[in-house]
Chain A
Amino acid sequence: MSRLPSWCPWPFLQGGPASLVLAGLLALTVAPASAADKRSGYQDASPETQAMQDDDAANPGFLWVQQGETLWSGRVGNANRSCADCHGAAPATMRGVAARYPMFDARLGRPITLPQRIQQCRVERQGAAPLASESDALLGLTAYVGLQSRGMPMQVAIDGPAQPSFEAGKALFTTRQGQFNLSCAQCHDGLAGQRLAGSVIPQGQPNGYPEYRLEWQGMGSLERRIRNCLVGVRAEPFAADAPELADLELYLGWRANGLRVETPAVRP
């Protein structure tokens, strides 16, 4: 008699033909969502939270977008160069860019996230010190660039040299972790749409980052959210900019392909 797969959250249901049927059903529910089933976290938020996101004049994320817009034209570093000096007007040149991140960086040999790319430009092309992780400035620039992809479908590529990172990210997503011994897939593939305490479990799609989260009372990156999830299952979170995070973000990005970018999103 086959045992239930390791990802089954009900380990006591083992043995007997009924368990095989159950295993089969669970296999169906724990599969990654197909294109038609992909749900943005927006759809699981309350109407009030949706309204906050829908109105640019009421969306607190735009405070960061405004800061990013200002920073875009600011000359910094040894090169005394602004983003605009190389990239011109962001609405034109950054259109569609965020929708393709994370992307594989051939020189680094691994995926790079959008905040990491911005930092790379700062250090290598502007000759400036990197911005502090989760700083308003970095969130602002990321949100400003992200805004230029708003409404466009996510298009994260996982072919060629990105494949090993993609597989590593997928493995992370489906591996049980932490004291609670839960994998991301168990909740966000298997139980999405159901409730944990008073909250609806979303699919965990990254199409709105950086986003304004009511729980944070501020803006934050996908990396911050993943860190929270890891703490949530009582696992040791990865260090900032750890390669595992980029692998996981690459997998999450691919998983969201087709969903429209909503940056700056508002979420509970």
Chain B
Amino acid sequence: MSPVEEAAARPVTETEPLLRVRGLTKHFPVRTGFRGRSLVRAVDGLDFDVRPGETLGLVGESGCGKTTTGRMLVRLLEPTAGTIEFDGRDITHAGRRELRPLRQDLQIIFQDPYASLNPRHTVGRIIAMPLQVNGIEPPGGVKARVQELLEIVGLNPEHYNRYPHEFSGGQRQRIGIARALALRPKLIVADEPVSALDVSIQAQVINLLRELQRDLGLAFVFIAHDLAVVRHFCQRVAVMYLGKIVEIGDRDDIYERPQHPYTRALLSAIPDVTRLGPGGRIRLAGDVPTPLDPPSGCRFRTRCWKAQDICATEEPALVPRAGGGQATACHFPESGPVAAATGAPAVADDAGPVADDGTAGAGAADGGSGTTVEEVSK
């Protein structure tokens, strides 16, 4: 596959952003030890835009604040600071009634298809719930709309009277998608929508999301820890580390010319079936520092092999480099393709086969943990 083809299909970049996030911050107070309160800086000042019809991938290790960000976007969590503008309106602290009209445009898909459907409701009731709570009577009736939605997500429309426990994980996730679509949203926050599913089912669900995105012109904020899935689905990618975006840019820039050392480390952890063995793997030393007391300056410096004194004193800003839409928060950005840093063949050459043989969603990049035997054997 060629990056050029992809670029041509991307929506026009000059349009007004659908979602504009500035300085988004979430601190959770926690009680610690004998008598003290401190803050978990789960999300610490995010800036990003999502244009209509665009898919933005939000990747990072577990605990980096991706999910918190997603929940703030749909206002399940109240932001500590910063603004969220949707469709030109500030919704950062909008109340339930003010949000009502916007709810229709802004929906969420959850990670766990087993927890996200009310076990006591029929599929029909689950999908009709957003219509019901917003008092919307679709033309042709609720039942017709539910059946239409079931059909859209590839389920049998006759199954609207069944209960969630009668469906498999993949089918349940389709039900969750149908529920998110019921109000015809413009933007869907997908919080790790496939990470709880089997690998073979992951691809189906991703394909479904992709079709929907194309057919309905949906924008997505796609939260994932799986770089392969993100590469398959997203046009733009933001890499998060400890509550901050360290690098954001177009997919091909991020995957082929990553500038932040952390992005490089993450990418090098994608399993590559064509090359077994340690290959060009960058192994990060140590653990992720606690968000209770993040490192000064650059948060990645404690694990970065390029760290200098300045990294401890000065926090690097997320600034665009090399023109274009790519921005990196690093004092010493890398340049050139991945191969230069890893001393191995460029990842771009291998990405095709990885996707083609069906392991696109192998999900092995979880926290840069590396390849398991099971995944290699596939």
- Please say whether chains A and B are actual partners in one complex: no
Q: Which residues of A contact B (CB under 8 A)?
A: none
